[in-house]
Chains A and B, each alone.
Chain A
């Protein structure tokens, strides 16, 4: 695979050439970009190929693969490691700039070229990074006969496609970054530019949402805790660009219609990409204590950090030199208008973003400054976010109904009656649960309110903005399912031997037998349970304990029965040196709806994307 290295180097050279030549002819640029893309694709395919044929002379393959792995995971192992995933970053970077050049027709040539220049700065930076600190084509001699294997919890279908999807979203924000800088320096930020860039924002937004969803599903069934979001630093790092992108998506609407808020759009675009880069830095440098930290190296972190500072410096420079606020006088809205409601959305989103950002970064700072270690976990985020969610949900229901410039609230009767219905319904649902009844009632009623309002809008009016409607409806569904999931979840943790039975007032768990299974890349112990509830429904479960052979790691595979209304989730663990198994059985209502609502939100994004095309 030395060829790969040479290609990588020549590619690096080419991109330099590309960079220098980019002021010349339009066609030439396009072909150069294509060439660049072509070479990156080639080197990426080379890496995949060496994974498939298990070529252990390649260091990356040696560290992350094994001959006994199934083919599917050999391929996904390509991006399941640091070097490969960075090559994927690069691939997406070049892919996006190429697509951008091909698809953008109605914009000035100068703008396209400048976008290309900025994108090339990022690409070159990543090339340097890749070649200097993490070349995927490093050669080992003597050639080992067997690889070290891929971390078994990464050997999973959801996680196999999670990185590419997430990266499309993450890196997709780079094109927004470059084009914003280009547009700023050419002073062409206008309504037409806004509707042109909106498409790109939507693309990366859709992929980012899907990517986060996949990661969350994976965490749910693979990490074996039955949770789906842990406020873990690495999860936060993917949430932050999402929040920024969502804000940007709303903000660009104002710009598209009224050509105001330009500085804000610029700042947001820069912030989104910076957050994506920060994410890469935080994850790759290993200064975070996280379940998802699989590879780290301080040198890499330093490089990204320096590169990040250069980019931020550059963008701030451009912002201050070229951007002039020329629309001061139109900067005022009537308090009850669409503009105001979007601003309020931005306001809350920025708040959520700051909570997540500070919660993630502050412990690191404190550690550096005073070497005191503190942990910031779920309670922190819940306390700061949940109270603000209530007005946010209400605004989400009312905001879209307002008109531009100045409007009156129509259908006041409906709005109020729906509010009352929601509160009553929430109270009825929660009547029998006495813990935290006040806050839960308020939360559920505001989510229900959004639910009803959006549902009604969907059916009653031939609503103009159908994607917005679906997205907000999806969001209300998401919040509702998360709330119900939290409030009505039940759980049994117990220790059982084979043949024993656990029984309480509602559930009976019978531990029937234990089987063994031998697969190519792991051995498994399969435990068979039959679980029955009050109604006499009986389910059979067979969770597994797997011992992977390369590397030797034991994992627990949960067995999940998914139904429309609830998930039943069982996971076992071996209690060391004993015959007991630690059994954890959970009933999680509305689990499926959490995934469905996120898919619905993505779908809304796709609808909006297609609408703009036609």
Chain B
């Protein structure tokens, strides 16, 4: 399999390429925000399935190409759809998702203020 070969190469190259800790942290952060598509509700970071492992390698590669975090998310989004991102961006599909809780918070506050509290 292609990915196995690739995996081997990565393992061999791993000590040589001296990936610093910062890059590792970045990879962990990114993979935590990607859903493992073939698993049941696991992130790529948590999973050890073949799919997740190959995705981890892709993330490494993209990082080495110098892509920023957002660019990598964008790349996965166009390739696999929004389903893969655990952190949905603010767009017309998710306005309700992001804003409704805050709206509820504000309305709740208004109700409490209006109906219960007497100012001196």
Bound together: yes
Interface assignment of A233: CB less than 8 Å from any CB of chain B: yes
In the assembled complex, 23 residue pairs joining A and B whose CB atoms fall closer than 8 Å, in A order, are: A223-B46, A233-B41, A291-B42, A333-B117, A335-B119, A347-B108, A351-B105, A354-B104, A355-B101, A358-B96, A370-B93, A373-B83, A375-B35, A375-B82, A375-B83, A376-B86, A376-B88, A377-B35, A379-B86, A380-B86, A573-B48, A575-B7, A576-B4
Interface residues of A in 83-104 (CB under 8 A from B): none
Given known pairs A350-B104, A354-B100, A355-B101, the reply for A380 and B88 (CB within 8 Å) is yes
| Chain A residues with CB under 8 A of B115 | 331
Q: A373-B82, A378-B32 are in contact. List 13 more A-B contacts (CB 8 A).
A: A291-B41, A333-B118, A335-B119, A340-B116, A354-B105, A362-B96, A372-B93, A373-B81, A377-B87, A379-B86, A575-B7, A575-B53, A576-B50
Contacts of B116 in A (CB 8 A): 331-333, 339-340, 343
**Interface digits, A364-387 against B, CB 8 Å rule (1 contact, 0 not)?**
001000101111111110011000
In B74-92, the 8 Å CB interface with A consists of 81-88
Interface locus among A224-232, A297-305, A595-603: A224-232
A190 interfacial contact with B, CB 8 Å: no
Q: How many Å lie between the Cα of A515 and that of B104 in the bound state?
A: 57
Q: Give complex CA distance A233, B101 in Å.
A: 17
Bound: A324/B35 CA distance, A: 49
B33, B105, B118 pick with most chain A CB within 10 angstroms? B105
Across the interface, do B35 and A344 meet the contact criterion of CB distance under 8 Å?
Answer: no
Instruction: List the B residue with the shortest CB-CB distance to A349.
Output: B108
Set of chain B residues within 8 Å of A344, measured between Cβ atoms:
112
Complex CA–CA separation, A359 to B94 (angstroms)? 10
With A362-B96, A376-B86, A573-B48: A335-B117 Cβ-Cβ less than 8 Å = yes
Contact pick for B82, options A293, A343, A347, A372, CB 8 Å: A372
**Contact surface of B with A, Cβ cutoff 8 Å:** 4, 7, 11, 28, 32-33, 35, 39-43, 46, 48, 50, 53, 81-88, 93-94, 96-98, 100-102, 104-105, 108-109, 112, 115-120
B112 touches A347 (CB 8 A): yes
Chain A: number of interface residues, binned into ranges: 35 or more
CB pair B112–A289 under 8 Å, yes or no, is no
Chain A, 561-610, CB within 8 A of any chain B CB: 573, 575-578, 580, 582
B118 nearest CB neighbor, chain A only: A332
3 nearest A-B residue pairs (beta carbon): A377-B86, A379-B87, A373-B83
Given contacts A291-B40, A377-B87, A380-B87, contact A334 B120 (CB under 8 A): yes
Q: Select which of B46, B85, B117 is within 8 A of A332 by beta carbon.
A: B117
Which of B83, B86, B94 makes the CB contact (< 8 A) with A378? Answer: B86
A359–B97 touching, CB < 8 Å: yes
| Cβ-based interface call for A495 (8 A) | yes
Indicate with 1 or 0, residue by residue over A287-316, a CB within 8 angstroms of chain B CB atoms: 001111100000000000000000000000
- Which B residues are in CB contact (< 8 Å) with A332? 116-118
CA of A469 to CA of B83, assembled, Å: 43
B101 touches A354 (CB 8 A): yes
Across-interface contacts of A573 in B (CB, < 8 A): 48
| Distance of A333 Cα from B46 Cα, bound (Å) | 49
Whether B93 pairs with A582 at a CB distance below 8 angstroms is no
Question: Roughly how many angstroms separate A351 CA and B83 CA in the complex, as a whole number?
Answer: 26
- Complex-state Cα separation, A355 to B105, whole angstroms: 10
Residue interface mask A539-581, B partner, CB < 8 A = 1: 0000000000000000010000000000000000101111010
| CB 8 Å contact bits of A16-55 with B (1 = contact, 0 = none) | 0000000000000000000000000000000000000000
> Do the beta carbons of A580 and B93 come within 8 Å of each other?
no
Tell me how far the C-beta of B70 lies from the nearest C-beta in chain A, rounded to whole angstroms. Answer: 13
- Please give me the residue from chain A that is nearest to B116 by CB atom: A333
- Which B residues touch A292, using CB under 8 A? 41
Asked whether A377 lies within 8 Å of B43 as measured between CB atoms, the reply is yes
A375 proximity list for chain B (CB < 8 A): 35, 82-86, 88
B87 touches A227 (CB 8 A): no
Contact residues of A between 375 and 421, Cβ < 8 Å to B: 375-380, 383-384, 388
For residue B43, which residue of chain A has the nearest CB? A377
Contact partners of A580 in chain B: CB under 8 A: 11
A230 to B41, CA, bound (A): 9
Complex Cα distance A576/B4, Å? 9
Closest chain B residue to A261, Cβ basis: B116
- The distance in angstroms between the C-alpha atoms of A374 and B32, with both chains bound, is 16
- What CA separation (Å) do A232 and B115 show in the bound complex? 36
- Compute how far the CA of A340 lies from the CA of B119 in the bound complex, rounded to whole angstroms: 12
Say whether A156 faces chain B, with CB atoms less than 8 Å apart: no
In the assembled complex, the CB of A367 is this many whole angstroms from the nearest CB of chain B, namely 10
- Taken together as a complex, chains A and B put the C-alpha atoms of A133 and B117 apart, in Å, by 51
Q: Please judge, given known A-B contacts A355-B101, A358-B97, A376-B97, whether A225 and B11 are in contact too, CB under 8 Å.
A: no
Please, which residues of chain B bring their CB within 8 A of the CB of A576? 4, 50
B108, closest chain A residue (CB) = A347
Q: Which residues of A contact B50 (CB under 8 A)?
A: 576
Any B CB within 8 A of the CB of A491: yes
On whether the beta carbons of A343 and B86 are closer than 8 Å, the reply is no
Question: CA A344 – CA B117 in complex, angstroms?
Answer: 11
Contacts of B85 in A (CB 8 A): 374-375, 377
Whole-angstrom CA separation of A366 from B33 in the bound complex: 20
Taking the closest CB of chain A, its distance from the CB of B18, in whole angstroms, is: 12
> Bound state CA distance, A577 and B50, in angstroms?
12
CB of A410 to closest CB in B, whole Å: 19
A350 CA / B115 CA spacing, docked (Å): 17
Cβ-defined contact, B118 with A335, below 8 A: yes
Alpha-carbon distance A169/B100, docked complex (angstroms): 29
